Amino acid sequence: MKEQATIVVMLGAPGTGKGTQAVLLAERLGIPHISTGDLFREHLAAETPLGIEAATYMNKGELVPDEITITMLNARLEEDDCENGVVLDGYPRTLVQALALESYLDSIDEELTMVANLAVPEVLIVKRLSGRWMSKSGNVYHAEYNPPKRKWFDDEDGSPLYQREDDKAETVLNRLKIYEAQTLPLIDHFREEGKLVEFNGVGEINDINDEIFEALQ
Ligand code: AP5
Ligand code: MG
């Protein structure tokens, strides 16, 4: 990574809009969007051993073990397209991952630019996830709030959309429990480091993105 790369972390419970916002923000900043969830889903689609192992955790709504996740993410950060920075979506998600990221950035003389925390009430989260449709390439839609131009096909490449295995109601509830136990403590960690900026995740998608973009300027 170059000096003064922009490194943004999107934090928030499942369904708060991390992916939706991260894609838009990365486009505006001209840097890659890296979602650990998407990376695991790509591995699963390619039936790699890592993908098959990750799916055993993901389908229960549990976190993939830190060691696997950190190794995968650090390898991704080494790629050339990360030179000017990255928007990280869904990583870090545990204190161990946060410390691993900070020590990696430290080792290359970089630091986090901003941690954006999105807040959305739980009732809306459940509605958002039950109506979510995804494309293979990682584009995210919602049946009601953010529909594709042609019903159930991707706007960009026209491929058929699908619903995520872990968006079933009982798995969503477990994901929320795991979030509270393992990821919520990161809010205090990043606040203490002066990196945390809080955003209301309820509202127009583009308005929320403007707020995040402006906070970075
Ligand atoms: P991951 O894929 O990261 O899932 P998640 O954290 O549960 O978050 P989601 O992707 O469900 O929600 P989102 O916040 O991205 O919301 P979205 O933009 O889609 O992780 C999946 C699994 O992988 C984990 O459970 C774990 O097993 C594993 N994993 C991943 N990272 C890991 C890590 N670091 N360590 C260990 N394990 C890891 O929006 C949701 C819906 O709402 C969409 O339909 C969207 O269109 C709609 N929407 C978005 N914004 C708005 C808005 N403003 N108004 C109305 N609707 C909106
Ligand atoms: Mg996501």
Residues with Cβ within 5 Å of ion ligand 2?
19
Q: Tell how far the Cα of 15 is from the centroid of ligand 2, in angstroms.
A: 7
Q: DSSP letters along 178-209, please?
A: HIIIIITHHHHHHHHTT-EEEEE--S-HHHHH
For each of the chain's 217 residues, which pLDDT tens digit applies? 877 899 999 999 999 999 999 999 999 999 999 999 999 999 999 999 999 999 999 999 999 999 999 999 999 999 999 999 999 999 999 999 999 999 999 999 999 999 999 999 999 999 999 999 999 888 899 999 999 999 999 999 999 999 999 999 889 999 999 999 999 999 999 999 999 999 999 999 999 999 999 999 9
What is the layout of strands, in order, in the sheet containing 6-12? 33-35, 85-89, 6-12, 114-119, 196-200
Query: Would the CB of 12 count as within 6 Å of ligand 1?
Result: yes
Q: Which of 41, 93, 128, 195 is catalytic?
A: 93
Residues 6+ apart with CB under 8 A from 119: 12, 16, 198, 199, 200, 201
Say what the pLDDT of residue 1 is: 81
Q: What does residue 88 show for φ and ψ, rounded to 5 degrees? A: -90, 130
Q: How many angstroms separate the most distant Cα atoms in the chain?
A: 47
Backbone phi, psi, residue 87, to 5° = -110, 115
Q: What is the pLDDT of residues 129-175, one digit of tens each?
A: 999 999 988 889 999 999 999 999 999 999 999 999 999 988 999 99
DSSP per-residue string spanning 49-97: HHHHHHHHHHTTTPPPPHHHHHHHHHHHHTSGGGTTEEEEES---SHHH
Q: Is 150 a catalytic residue?
A: no
**57 CB under 6 A from ligand 1?**
yes
Residue nearest to atom 7 of ligand 1 (CA): 14
Question: Given the CA of residue 142, which atom of ligand 1 is nearest to it?
Answer: 44
Tell me, using a 6 A CB cutoff, whether residue 41 lines ligand 1.
no
